[in-house]
């Protein structure tokens, strides 16, 4: 593989694993972060130590101006994007619907759904053969919550991921003739910090062993799925989201 890969929200977890694996597969990588510059620089340093090329770029991936600025920095430092992994996301406050605030709902939908729309828009301007590009691949990181519903915990998060999967389907159909594939990965219970950050640090220990495979997945396994979807090995896969849930 070769080209320029942008991974949103890649200072930790699945995003960091995607950035590191993408660099190992030959991409020049943009490591995006919002509030963890030290961790993003650590990912860049790990990539550099392995002989890869990466830059860390700050930005809130729910805000159009930050997104536009990120892609402009990538243009200047690495070249036009050829692969995008929309990974940045948040669960929001855990609770039932009647306990949710409007501001929390808006924050979740802005980062998890509007953000990927805006990032994809910037990527398409650079990738589309209709705009003089060479084509490319967009991967949206969803969640099993899109299918399971998130009842009693995070309805807003689940709904945003359901919307993301619909977006994957529709956009994949829209830009197929532009040389762009749009695909998604739907992780299940993955052993990352997201559970502790949502206030449920015990979640992996409780739900992992109950999965059909008897364990939680890893960020590296999700990265393998995402990078395979970007590869030529998945060249006829478009407008769909694959489950990477261990059968959950």
Q: Write out the catalytic residue numbers.
A: 157
With b for 16 or more beta-carbon neighbours within 10 A and e for fewer, the 42-78 pattern comes to bbbebbeeeebebbbbbbbbbbeebbeebbeebeeeb
| CA nearest neighbour of 137 among 153, 152, 124, 122 | 124
Helix (H, G, I), strand (E, B) or coil at 212: coil
d(CA 84, CA 140): 8
d(CA 226, CA 223): 5
| CA nearest neighbour of 119 among 176, 177, 63 | 63
How, if at all, do strands 3-7 and 27-33 pair? parallel
């Amino acid at each position: 593989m070769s080209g320029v890969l942008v991974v949103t929200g890649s200072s930790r977890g699945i995003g960091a694993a995607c950035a590191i694996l993408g660099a190992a597969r030959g991409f020049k990588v943009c490591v995006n972060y919002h509030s963890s510059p030290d961790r993003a620089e650590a990912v860049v340093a790990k990539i550099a130590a392995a002989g890869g090329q990466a830059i860390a770029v700050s930005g809130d991936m729910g805000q159009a101006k930050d997104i536009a600025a990120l892609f402009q920095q990538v243009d200047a430092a690495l070249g036009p994007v050829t692969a995008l992994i929309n990974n940045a996301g948040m669960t929001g406050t855990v609770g039932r619907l009647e306990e949710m605030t409007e501001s929390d709902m808006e924050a979740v939908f802005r980062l998890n759904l509007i953000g990927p729309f805006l990032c994809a828009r910037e990527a398409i301007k650079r990738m589309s053969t209709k705009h003089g590009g060479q084509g490319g691949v967009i991967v949206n990181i969803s969640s099993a919550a899109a299918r399971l519903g998130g009842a009693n915990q995070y309805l807003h998060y689940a709904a945003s991921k359901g919307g993301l999967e619909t977006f994957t389907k529709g956009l994949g159909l829209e830009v197929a003739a532009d040389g762009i594939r749009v695909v998604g990965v739907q992780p299940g219970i993955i052993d990352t910090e997201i559970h502790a950050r949502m206030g449920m640090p015990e979640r992996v220990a409780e739900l992992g062993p109950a999965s059909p495979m008897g364990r939680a997945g890893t960020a590296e396994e999700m990265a393998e799925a995402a990078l395979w979807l970007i590869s030529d090995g998945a060249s006829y896969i478009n407008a769909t989201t694959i489950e990477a849930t261990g059968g959950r």
